[in-house]
Structure 1
Amino acid sequence: MSESPILPVRGRPVRPSGRHRRPVPSQLPPEAPALVLAALGDASGAAAELAALIRVDNPQIQVRLAGLDEEAKRLTAELESAARERPEGVTAAIVVPLLTGPHPVADRLIAAAVASSRVAVTVTGPLGPHPLLAEALHIRLAEKGLARADRMRLVNVSSPVDAVVLATVGGERAAAEAQPTAVLLASRLTLPVLVASLDSAPPVAAAAERLRAIGAARIALSPCVVGPEAPDGLVAATAAEAGAEYAEVLGAHDLIADLAARAYGSILSAD
């Protein structure tokens, strides 16, 4: 008589760790705050695609999207609408700016909308710095042939470029706060990475010249922007002026959607 097979012991599921851990609980109460994405411009294009990605991956979240017009009226309206659907005394919304770093105009508009709405709201910080942001930048570079698609370094394979300029939008403060992301990206690429600004100091052309002074011949521009915050053509024009090749903006990358959901989830877990 053959032995009975050993059946597995049913236990608690193993909770994934690191980047694979769910950024938001799989179930939320009906009164859970809405996730309101705030994007410069009319909230079309990449912003709308990111909202759709978050909805698909997190159906338990009510995801709203508001463009930041000159008076932030659309964001005010979204906050007021979210509050009407929830009991009094609870946080009606968590506003997540679709920005990789601080942005004076967006920050001012969001603050004005929150004040005007008179709604209980929490506003998160920008999406960076974060290792997932550096990973998304790496992927965009690889898509244009400006970086290897993986992180393995083989001594007999030359790097596609000699150095990278990580470019921000939002003034000098945004450039300063992107330094940790630059360090993370440099670690992934094992290449020099300097931070510059597309709309302020330090300028991209000056950063490219610094890199050439240390022997970098082929330089890549890595725009650390989601997209709506940079005027059309700005990245291409800046790269041409600096004599650099360039990656596409981050846009509706799934890692950016993940970062937005994580920002929302971090507020929930802190309560």
Structure 2
Amino acid sequence: MTAHLMNRNRSRLGTRRPAPPALVLVGHGSRDPRALSTVRTLMERIRELRPGLPVRLGHIELNEPLLPDTLASLGTGDAVLVPLLLSRGHHVKRDIPEAAAASRARTRVAAPLGPHPLLVETLHTRLVEAGWRAPDAAGRRTSGVVLAAAGSRDPDAAVDTRRTAELLAERLGVPVVPAYASAAAPTVADAVRAFAERGRHHIAVASYFTAPGRFSTECAAAAPGPAASPLGAHPSMARLTLHRYDQAMATPTPTHHPLAATA
């Protein structure tokens, strides 16, 4: 009887599934303490959605833990790096893959979060929370939304942001134009003026930032009407992060290079 129980226990141990590769959230980092708090809340929501998945955090700069330190703590383990970034750019194309390649961990680098319909749903929710109401036919002729983003010199980043603006315009039924806090044009203030010159005076600003910080605060200050909060730890953000993780896991072999963003 004792031997039978021991054999059964060994059988159970032998069929136990190995732990899945860790999901490493890669945040940009910010001096604003609200940013780190937001990312930690997002981590908890991801853990709630997928119990048993190891979820870690690493920053590109400004906050600890830094990404190289997080990867070092994994040793030679497996990990999927999911950038908490909304478009392709220098961090996605260079900084994150280089950190992955310099580590001992076996890594895959997922696509950035955007563009994706789940981001559009989150943007819509944040606008409604800020006071946006769907306009009637007459109101659509005088309304517009500025999609405020961080900005990048990389043309692919602008392509991705414009695509999100197009998806949001389809969702809202009014024009949506991208604007940027740095490194690209137009600014939010310029986009607001351009709308006004076209007779669109009911203007809201959608905050295309993953977490609060200096850029999101400055962009909100330029809003003449409703100014939405950043995307934050909305449940759709947790679902999208896991979607990018699953996409990376579905590739045939690990890679240190970002995958093309797809829906």
Distance 2:69 2:207 in 1: 31
Distance 1:137 1:211 in 2: 20
Structure 2 contact 151–184 (Cα < 8 Å) conserved = no
Partners of 2:65 and 2:129 in 1: CA distance? 37
- Whether 1:224 and 2:208 are equivalent positions in the alignment is yes
Residues 112 and 187 from structure 1, CA distance in 2 versus in 1: closer, same or farther, beyond 3 angstroms? same
* TM-score, with structure 1 as normaliser: 0.75
Report deviation, 1:201: 1.9
Judged with a 3 Å threshold, the aligned counterparts in structure 2 of structure 1 residues 100 and 147 are, in CA distance, closer, same or farther, namely: farther
Is structure 2 residue 25 aligned with structure 1 residue 37?
A: yes
| Aligned AA (1:68) | I
Mapped to 2, the partners of 1:253 and 1:165 lie a distance apart of 20
Letter aligned with residue 37 of structure 1: L
Kept in 2, the 8 Å contact 1:168–1:175? The answer is no
Deviates more, 1:259-268 or 1:68-77: 68-77
In the aligned structure 1, how far is the partner of 2:69 from the partner of 2:223?
42
Give how far 1:200 is off. 2.4
- Provide the C-alpha distance between the structure 2 equivalents of 1:104 and 1:263, rounded to a whole number of angstroms: 19
**Are 1:100 and 1:128, in contact at CA under 8 Å, matched by a contact in 2?**
yes
Q: CA RMSD in A?
A: 2.8
Structure number with higher relative contact order (C-alpha < 8 Å, ≥ 6 residues apart): 2
Q: Which has the higher helix share?
A: 2
* Same amino acid, percent of matched pairs: 35
2:28 aligned partner, one-letter code: L
- Determine the structure 1 residue equivalent to 2:188: 204
Q: 2:160 corresponds to which residue? A: 177
Provide the C-alpha distance between the structure 2 equivalents of 1:107 and 1:184, rounded to a whole number of angstroms: 24
Deviations 1:38-93 (A, max 9, x none): 11227721111111100011013111112223699732232233344x4xxxxx10
> Partners of 1:248 and 1:220 in 2: how far apart?
11
Could you list the runs of 5+ residues in structure 2 that have no partner in the other structure? 1-15, 253-263
Give, in angstroms, the shift of residue 224 of structure 1: 0.9
> Deviation of residue 216 (structure 1)?
0.5
2:181 matches 1:189: no
CA 1:220/1:63 → structure 2, altered by over 3 Å: closer, same or farther? same
> Quick one: structure 1 residues 190 and 270, their matched pair in 2 at CA, closer, same or farther if it must change by over 3 Å?
same
- The structure 1 residue matched to 2:72, chosen from 64, 75, 80, is 80
One-letter amino acid of the structure 1 residue matched with residue 43 of structure 2:
A
1:268 to 245, 249, 259: 249
